[in-house]
Structure 1
Amino acid sequence: FSLARICVVTLVILFLWRVEEIAEACSCSPAHPQQAFCNSDVVIRAKVVGKQEVDRFKYDVKQIKSFKGPAQDIDAIYTAPTSAVCGVSLEHNGKEYLITGTTLTTFKYYAHHLCDFLEPWETLSATQKKSLTQRYEMGCECKITRCTSIPCMISSPAECLWTDWVIEKTVNGGQAKHFACIKRSDDSCAWYRGAALPKKDFLDIEDP
């Protein structure tokens, strides 16, 4: 091989490695809102009031309510500059969002990732808003298993089968908007729908 050809081959390898790295960095399965709540360090309702560009994007936020996280208010979140590296783009004209994700070690800032659950507050259903205060937390010991193709099944009574994708062709379907997977007294888990606290109105675990 000539030196020039070796250099070209090296550049191609580096390019492919970088593409693979970026793809892997943003590889994530959609999460039910309850899963996002349970897996996050921080869950807040916040108004985005400004944007600065540093080594990545910094959004200044005014925290309205904390559903999970540190005692101190979150006043800014960081995100990567493009969706190719899992960054997110937020409207920063006072729009309110539900934001989930991971805190940095200082607990002052929050690093947001494309794979986290972030939705405009106004688009959330009444059940989703209500579930943030108690119901999602009640089901954090349950496992939500996403069904991507039929047939699909659960492997444990402590699982709820999430079928939005196969039934409605969206991960933001009825189960995501109106149901929470709650642990029952016998340690099994089942879907519950409604704005009141769970009583006996559970769905069968295999019939969402």
Structure 2
Amino acid sequence: GSTMDPSFLLVFPLLLALSTPCNACDCKIQHPQTYYCTSDVVILADIQGPGNNTVTKQGFRINVLKAPKGTPRFHEIYSLISWKDCGYKLRTTQQSQLLIAGYLRGGTLHFTRCHLVYFWYRLTREQRLGFEAAYRTGCKCQVQPCLFCWRPCPQPDFRECVWRQQDCKYKIWEGNHSLYSVCAPSMDGPCEWTHIQMNYQYQTSAPATSIH
């Protein structure tokens, strides 16, 4: 019979790690555009306090200030109760102007610490415009992190941009790709990094298309 390529055995654990970003709540940071494009809903909201709980989920009462993606008609959002399962915990009785990227289940909005939960004021001006308009122009593209610094980054295919951070560290956003850029189709067709232009009129009427 055929034997398995031994190189696959080396790659297989990595595939498992990348496919389960919330394993033991070891969350791998994504590019902000990836959070936008792969989420069902992105909202800017105030968390006003605890809401209704279920057996496994805790609710938070929210006031949605705006919805860069999806509908703003939510008054409650849910996360897992268990901290080890990446449940979100309020550090104060309420939190203001949080950017939250979540997913829909049965018409309710859910999120974990592996989804984006970030203070709006900490974003760069370009990232804010990215969530409001620019990132949706790149949802047909995929952002691929360069994970191995000891060898050259892979060459992107037609629908990819290679995301580079210094020393291949992906704990926080830093550098031009993360803080100031969008990966979007170029005039010639292939996806490429472009600087988010503050005075450019990005199309805001068309809904984003998920890459999944």
Coarse TM-score class (shorter-chain normalised): 0.7 to 0.9
In the alignment, the residues of structure 2 paired with residue 63 and residue 47 of structure 1 have an alpha-carbon distance, to the nearest angstrom, of: 6
Cα offset, 1:154, TM superposition: 2.7
Asked if 1:197 is matched to 2:200, the reply is yes
Asked if 1:163 is matched to 2:164, the reply is yes
Cα offset, 1:84, TM superposition: 0.7
Asked if 1:176 is matched to 2:175, the reply is no
Q: Contact 1:145/1:154 (CA < 8 Å) preserved in 2?
A: no
Q: Contact 1:61/1:76 (CA < 8 Å) preserved in 2?
A: yes
Q: Which runs of 5+ in 1 are unaligned?
A: 1-20, 200-208
Q: Contact 1:61/1:75 (CA < 8 Å) preserved in 2?
A: yes
Cα offset, 1:198, TM superposition: 8.4
Cα offset, 1:162, TM superposition: 0.8
In the alignment, the residues of structure 2 paired with residue 148 and residue 67 of structure 1 have an alpha-carbon distance, to the nearest angstrom, of: 30
Matched residue, 2:78: 78
SS at match of 1:102: strand
Cα pair distance change 1:116/1:193, threshold 3 Å = same
Cα pair distance change 1:118/1:185, threshold 3 Å = same
In the alignment, the residues of structure 1 paired with residue 63 and residue 201 of structure 2 have an alpha-carbon distance, to the nearest angstrom, of: 32
Further displaced range: 84-93 or 56-65? 84-93
| 1:118-145 Cα shifts (integer Å, max 9, x gaps) | 1011111111111112210000011111
Of structures 1 and 2, the one with the larger relative CO (CA 8 A, separation 6+) is 2
In the alignment, the residues of structure 1 paired with residue 137 and residue 46 of structure 2 have an alpha-carbon distance, to the nearest angstrom, of: 27
Cα pair distance change 1:139/1:169, threshold 3 Å = closer
TM-score, structure 2 as length reference: 0.73
State the AA in 2 paired with 1:76.
E
Cα pair distance change 1:88/1:165, threshold 3 Å = farther
Further displaced range: 128-137 or 171-180? 171-180
Q: Contact 1:160/1:181 (CA < 8 Å) preserved in 2?
A: yes
Matched residue, 2:60: 59
In the alignment, the residues of structure 1 paired with residue 62 and residue 93 of structure 2 have an alpha-carbon distance, to the nearest angstrom, of: 9
The alignment of Structure 1 onto Structure 2 pairs a total of residues equal to 175
In the alignment, the residues of structure 2 paired with residue 169 and residue 137 of structure 1 have an alpha-carbon distance, to the nearest angstrom, of: 22
In the alignment, the residues of structure 1 paired with residue 124 and residue 194 of structure 2 have an alpha-carbon distance, to the nearest angstrom, of: 15
In the alignment, the residues of structure 2 paired with residue 45 and residue 142 of structure 1 have an alpha-carbon distance, to the nearest angstrom, of: 24
SS at match of 1:48: strand
In the alignment, the residues of structure 2 paired with residue 27 and residue 51 of structure 1 have an alpha-carbon distance, to the nearest angstrom, of: 25
| 1:164-199 Cα shifts (integer Å, max 9, x gaps) | 253666441122221111111222111112323389
Cα offset, 1:94, TM superposition: 4.1
Q: Which runs of 5+ in 2 are unaligned?
A: 1-19, 203-212
Matched residue, 1:99: 100
Q: What's the RMSD between the two structures over aligned residues?
A: 2.5
- Give aligned-pair identity as a percent: 25
